[in-house]
Structure 1
Amino acid sequence: MLTLFSQSCVEPFEAATEDFESVLVIDALITNELKYQQINLSRTFRFEEEEAGGEVGATVRVLDDMQNEYVFVENNPGQYVSEVMFAAQPNVSYQLSITTREGGVYESTPVVLSKNTPIDDLYASVETNDQEVEGVAILVDTFDPEGESQYYRFDYEETYKIVAPFWNPQELTIQQEVPLFFRLVPKMQEEQVCFNTVNSVNIILANTSGFIEDRLSRFVVRFLARDDYIISHRYSILVKQYVISREAHTFYETLNEFSGLESIFSENQPGFFNGNISASNNPREKVIGFFDVSPVDSRRIFFDHDEFFPEDLIPAWPFDCQITTPIPIELLNLVKFEIVEFWAHHEPEDASQGDYKVVPRICGDCTVLGTNVAPDFWIE
């Protein structure tokens, strides 16, 4: 039995890419908003790499059938922004053209702006999800009486207030090291209340083509468990609704299915699927991406945790806030590297361990998690 046990131990498997093909990845969406439009270019990356690198040095243009040309300049590596503000117009055909630094030429098929359908309502409601978790669902209602929209994509930008649970109006500073002496001084910046903004990363799609009418009712864009700390205080979400083509919906739906595989060893291994962009000088070259021209409508809502769960305590802080009492020499190093936050002075009976109670900085300084400047749109 001992022999069997020793031979059955699991050895760690270090996954690595053996065959790799560098493929251009194009994220290109032009909307009917008057703004500096943006197109992102990157490359596929190996399994053992952490993230994709931007495709730099490319020439990016959008042309329409009215003889207009919109040139995009590289703002950051792989991020290209139009030189002028413009908005996609109805009944105008647009085409994307890209030339990479290595001479690769890529073009999309012509695309026309879809019909614009606004959001009828955006609201929050207490719901229970499929996993039997109670929380707040962000819901959208929309309706096209002419039945021409049918295919929708959503994304969101959420902003939430952070209140540091172990904030103190004073901070601990080193007055001198020899002899060692600390001093408490008033904090010079706001560290109790901050704000953090996060963009959605999931592909959120809706399809009414099989419905009696082109209507979405109580469509869930976001779900937040009642104990999610980001709704501990005040929360806001900006939801954007795009009306997209059937071809774009098919592309994003397929991309969603592939990206949702639970394991790289799944029997359903992803293959390659084409968008509406191809390599002009090498028809067999693979290209990942879809050039989309979509109308967009947006709504924003705010709510507080106690509006839905007035009987609850605020959700627990998700970080370890162990209070310690380091001896002076330990405290010297901690203060130097700013990894703790002064909490409160000890009672006399505790002074033998150390003069101060401290916690990790993330527990007393909200700027670790966000900005201490409220966004322009923020409403209390």
Structure 2
Amino acid sequence: MNGHPSAPNAAPPAPSSGVEPHTEPRPASAPLHPPPLSLYVHLPWCVRKCPYCDFNSHEGRGALPFDAYVDALLADLDHDLPLVWGRTVQSVFFGGGTPSLFPPCHIDRFLQGASSRLRFAPGCEVTLETNPGTAEHGRFELYQQAGVNRLSFGIQSFDDDCLRRLGRIHDSREADAAVKLAQDAGFDNFNLDLMYALPQQTLAMAERDLERAFALQPTHVSHYQLTLEPNTLFAAKPPAGIPDDDASWDMQEHCQALLAANGYAQYEVSAYARAGRQCAHNLNYWRYGDYLGIGAGAHGKLTLGHDESILRRWKVKHPGAYLASAGKVEAIGGDDRIEPSRRPFEFMLNALRLVEGFELDLFALRTGVAVAEIAPQLQQAVANGWLAIEGGHARPTEAGRRFTNDLVSLFL
């Protein structure tokens, strides 16, 4: 996950004519407090692009420029540092692409460089996404020595036929072996990514995937439905046998119950964890926290204290263009100032994914918009049975979680 960027403004405001133009009333303000800060690092290469993937990932051809890319990441970080002077990084996430294509020495060099530029919190969560098809003996020990303390395995399924239909480069045996290698190296905090409603998948097959996952004792499971995203091969040529909406909902309900029965509490739409093992990095996204985004196509969201504004910034997507421009203004793909009128929707788009919901006071702190400004929408959500509010805390109901899009749209 890498934020929800908005389109940059098309043009600067016109010069003033001396007459105040008619504008919509500005939302009543509240003090805007900088929230916790995370660091997202995008490593864009993979062995092969999966047909369902809409992330900024590129098939590696020939030798990859690991050294040059780490240099570019550090130059990118240097360029953005003035936006976050004096703030502490609470979590780091290496996403992709396939970050585990990068040898541990390059992950180590980046983390050494980043921690010399930014203050890392004690016990800072550092997650590396890894593909079982790129796991090698000995690498996990070295990733751990570099400072990685959490892994996220892109398993997707333990059914070899499903994996082939998804275009994955690993099989179920390699998935088991990769996780066990990590455990042998001392990793005790790791996530398994699993998908359901796959082509030709039955409810029994989805259940078996979870049973195989439970046997590996992950601390966290991401369990999400296959969707046909625009600009993917699957969107252009949908595979045969994708379960219909009713079958997909049956899988979701059955698997949620199975996860709960095995000690994995749902805390977000598609995230389940053992007690105390929620992903700190993703929780910061969902609580409308700040994150610095570096790397090709990376997105960031930052609260700027000097003028109490919120900035979304993203970097150019193509690795070649990024390598050529990192550290310069040309590497910025766009900047977007989030006006107060847009912040309630952005906040709810994230916070209403959480089972726990949010404190109403947190809304005001993170958006700089007074809670009174959204009182009509909150009342409508309660009247619709989508939201429960008690003691200053708002929580989506079961119906609200099922109709999240409708609930969030109230705040547009």
TM-score scaled by length of structure 2: 0.18
Rg comparison, structure with higher value: 1
Kindly indicate which of the two structures has a greater share of residues assigned to helix: 2
Kindly indicate which of the two structures has a greater share of residues assigned to strand: 1
